[in-house]
């Protein structure tokens, strides 16, 4: 029988090797999927709609750091089904490249990284890190698909509020004609950038601060509805002010409010109202090692496990096989 100290040291060494294997797998995948990462980084940095994603990597890192003590309590062991998720991600990545569909290729990229983590670190580590691994999907820039519907929703709300304000209005689609001039609800005014940023923030807060699924649902509903309604009010306020100061001055005011204050006000409103119903501290969110070990279905799903080194080998071989049709071989 080994002393506890030796067992702890062996577990730490196994954990270090598994993390080194994961780092190797992720570096290989990063090399393969560099065009996708480059395109995503371009969108994060150069497109206002996705600038909030620059905060996602440090958020994911902090979420993993918070779980470090729980990870130290488990023995790293590979998990075969993680290779399946990795393979599905690679298929999506290759299909997205072949079809020139960036969103599909980028989602496949993130799925491949998630699958590699599950395959090398194992099911127990995957459950402890379930939220940060899932939250990685917010690295993918999405939202272009809902811009047009949001433009029309904003236009309808703005038109209704403008008429209620007693302003003579003729509206057709996203065009709103008033005595102060013709206003168009452009893509930049659809509110999409604040909506998707609010959803990303809402998912983080819902996981970290709520334990009840019912409260999570209502909070996420607020994170969707409030930004949309607030954006309609903002657009109406611009038109209303324009009746007195002119369209150009009102537009300048709108850009200042929209760029600097609007999202902060929406966040403060939603979080301020929800704060009294918060149920826990962020450090308490997620499964502990003990809770994972007590799950009745863990043993059946975990199976015999896979050697992390062997899982790394499979990942590298599969990645190489996919690199050839992708033009990287």
Residue-wise DSSP of 90-133: HHHHHHHHHHT-HHHHHHHHHHHHHHHHHHHH-HHHHHHTHHHH
H/E stretch holding 8: helix 4-32
- Please report whether residue 289 resides in a domain: no
Indicate whether 155 and 128 sit together in one domain: no
Burial class (CB in 10 A: 0-12, 13-18, 19+), 51: middle
Domain membership of residue 106 (yes or no) is: yes
Residues whose CB falls within 8 Å of the CB of residue 47, separated by 6 or more in sequence, listed in order:
141
74 lies in the same domain as 153: no
328 is a domain residue:
no
Query: How many residues are present in the chain?
Result: 329
CB atoms within 10 A of CB 279: 12
Check whether residue 156 and residue 278 sit in a common domain: yes
CA 319/CA 90 separation, integer angstroms: 8
Q: Quick check: helix, strand or coil at residue 329?
A: coil
Distance CA(198)–CA(300), nearest Å, equals 38
Predicted TM-score (pTM) of the model is: 0.88
138 and 209 both lie in a single domain:
no
Q: How many structural domains compose the chain?
A: 2
Q: Are 124 and 212 within one domain?
A: no
Q: Is residue 26 part of a domain?
A: yes
Residue 102 lies in a domain: yes
> Which residues have CB under 8 Å from 121's CB, separation 6+?
18, 22, 76, 78, 79, 129, 308
Residues 123, 42 within the same domain = yes
Ordered per-residue pLDDT tens for the chain, 329 residues: 455 555 556 666 777 888 999 999 999 999 999 999 999 999 999 988 899 999 999 999 999 999 999 988 888 888 989 999 999 999 999 999 999 999 999 999 999 999 999 999 999 999 999 999 999 999 999 988 899 999 999 999 999 999 998 888 888 889 988 888 888 888 878 888 889 999 999 999 999 999 999 999 999 999 999 999 998 988 888 888 888 877 666 666 666 666 557 778 888 989 999 999 998 888 888 898 898 888 888 888 877 677 888 889 989 998 888 776 666 65
Which H/E stretch holds residue 183? strand 181-184
CA distance 121 to 48: 36
> Is 89 inside a domain boundary?
yes
Q: What angle is formed at CA 132 by the lines to CA 127 and CA 135, rounded to 5 degrees?
A: 120
The residues facing 175 across adjacent strands are: 172, 184
Structure-block tokens of residue 289: 């090692």
Query: Burial code of 64-98, b = ≥16 C-beta within 10 A, e = fewer?
Result: eebbeebbeebebbbbbbbbebbbebbebbbebbe
SS3 assignment, position 31: helix
The pLDDT of residue 249: 66
In a domain, 90, yes or no: yes
User: Do 104 and 119 belong together in one domain?
Assistant: yes
Residue 306 shares a structural domain with residue 249: no
Half-sphere exposure at residue 302, Cβ-oriented, CA atoms within 13 angstroms: 20
> Do 172 and 269 fall into the same domain?
yes
Does residue 13 fall inside a structural domain? yes
Q: Give the domain extent around 211.
A: 145-282
Domain match, 18 and 103 both: yes
Whether residue 167 is found in the same domain as residue 185: yes
Residues 228 and 201 in one domain: yes
Determine the distance from the C-alpha atom of residue 44 to the mean position of all C-alpha atoms in its chain, rounded to a whole number: 12
């Amino acid at each position: 029988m080994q002393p506890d100290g030796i067992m702890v040291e062996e577990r730490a060494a196994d954990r270090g090797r598994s993390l080194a294997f994961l780092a190797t797998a992720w570096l290989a995948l990063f090399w393969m999927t560099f065009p996708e990462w480059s395109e995503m980084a371009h969108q994060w940095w150069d497109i206002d709609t996705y600038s909030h994603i620059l905060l996602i990597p440090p958020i994911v890192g902090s979420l993993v750091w918070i779980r470090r003590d729980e990870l130290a309590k488990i023995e790293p062991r590979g998990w075969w089904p993680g290779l399946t998720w990795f393979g599905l991600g690679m298929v999506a990545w290759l299909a997205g490249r072949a079809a020139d569909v960036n969103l599909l290729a980028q989602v496949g990229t993130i799925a491949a990284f998630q699958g590699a983590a599950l395959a090398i670190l194992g099911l127990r580590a995957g459950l402890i890190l379930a939220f940060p691994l899932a939250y990685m999907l917010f690295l993918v820039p999405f939202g272009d698909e809902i811009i047009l519907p949001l433009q029309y929703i904003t236009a309808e709300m703005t038109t209704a509020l403008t008429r209620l304000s007693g302003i003579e209005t003729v509206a057709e689609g996203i065009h709103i004609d008033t005595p102060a001039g013709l206003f168009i609800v452009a893509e930049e005014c659809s509110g999409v950038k604040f909506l998707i940023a609010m959803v990303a923030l809402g998912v983080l807060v819902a996981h970290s601060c709520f334990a009840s699924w019912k409260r999570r649902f209502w909070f996420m509903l607020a994170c969707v509805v409030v930004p949309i309604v607030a954006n309609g009010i903002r657009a109406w306020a611009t038109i209303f002010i324009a009746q007195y100061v002119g369209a150009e001055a009102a537009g300048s005011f709108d850009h200042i409010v929209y760029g600097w204050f609007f999202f902060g006000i929406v966040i403060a409103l939603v979080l301020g109202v929800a704060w009294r119903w918060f149920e826990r501290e962020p450090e308490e969110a997620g499964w502990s090692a003990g809770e994972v070990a007590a799950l009745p279905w863990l043993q059946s799903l975990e199976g015999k496990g896979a050697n992390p080194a062997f899982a790394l080998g499979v990942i590298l071989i599969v990645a190489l096989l996919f690199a050839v049709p992708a033009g990287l071989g």
